[in-house]
Amino acid sequence: MLSLPSIKRAWYDVSRATCRVVFVVVFGVRVRGREWFPREGGVLLVSNHQSHLDPVLAGVACDRQMTTLARDTLFRIPLFRNLINSYDAIPLDREGVGLAGVKETMRRLKQGKVVLVFPEGTRTSDGQVAPLKPGFCALARRTRVPVMPVAVAGAFDAWPRWRPWPCPATIHIQYGRPISPAEIAAMDDAALVVEVEARLAACQHEADAYRRRAVRELPAVPAASTPSH
């Protein structure tokens, strides 16, 4: 008989494969920089936050199983709670100290898992990387795992925060070189935040450049001919 972890892993693999197909068809999703991703061990994956699609996009792009921090308020929505629980999402109280979420995040990182965080704290209002909150610094230091930047470009066009539903748009995802535990130890929190902000911005710029190039290279749609009389 299959164990619950085995069932969850199978569910994760099937849903990731399905989402990959859907996202490639609908959004033309492309991923660059996968060679930077550590093949084993804990990884703190830090991403820009352009839309509601971002957690799914990060999961689709990552070849390893990933878990995400989610606002505890999302766990109060019955159907959505069941869905994110099936992916082992970690509830985080953004209004309080959130110690339970922080402890669980550290536990999973120490177990060698990949955890996704959005250090901007909320979705961008203009598509650019907003100033980062420093909470991820303590997670990285105390667990001694690398910080891996990943940027999404195009999700803001597909689903900005003021639009109720997504629309088709071209989306590219770019990984950057991870910051090793030794590099992290050599920086204070302020320097680490600046470094991660710079790497996220560079990744987003690169992803956006490839995305725009892909859009320009799309075959032109023939203009409708004017009917003759």
194 closest CA partner among 157, 142, 149: 149
Arithmetic mean of pLDDT, 194-214: 94
Write out pLDDT tens, residues 105-148.
Answer: 999 999 999 999 999 988 999 999 999 999 999 999 999 999 99
Which are the contacts of 220, defined by CB distance < 8 A and separation ≥ 6?
none
Tell me what the pLDDT averaged over the chain comes to.
Answer: 90
Residue 111 or 101, more confident: 111
70-80 burial string, b = 16+ CB within 10 Å, else e?
bbbeeeeeeee
Residues in the chain: 229
Say if 68 falls within a structural domain: yes
Q: What residues make up the domain containing 209?
A: 4-215
Write out pLDDT tens, residues 41-75.
Answer: 999 999 999 999 999 999 999 999 999 988 888 88
Q: What is the pLDDT of residue 94?
A: 63
Instruction: Please state, in angstroms and rounded to a whole number, the distance separating the CA atoms of residues 210 and 169.
Output: 14
CA-based torsion, 23, 24, 27, 33: positive or negative: positive
Arithmetic mean of pLDDT, 176-183: 98
Say if 45 falls within a structural domain: yes
Specify the CATH number for the domain of residue 30: 3.40.1130.10
Say if 150 falls within a structural domain: yes
DSSP state of 100: H
Tell me if 159 sits within 8 A of 52, measured CB to CB.
yes
The whole model's pTM is what?
Answer: 0.89
82-116 burial string, b = 16+ CB within 10 Å, else e?
eebeebbbbbbeeeeebeebbebbbebbeeebbbb
Say if 225 falls within a structural domain: no
- Stretch (H or E) spanning 86: helix 78-86
Instruction: Please state, in angstroms and rounded to a whole number, the distance separating the CA atoms of residues 36 and 38.
Output: 6
Tell me if 50 sits within 8 A of 118, measured CB to CB.
no
Say if 126 falls within a structural domain: yes
Q: What is the pLDDT of residue 95?
A: 57
Q: What is the pLDDT of residue 225?
A: 37
Structural domains counted in the chain: 1
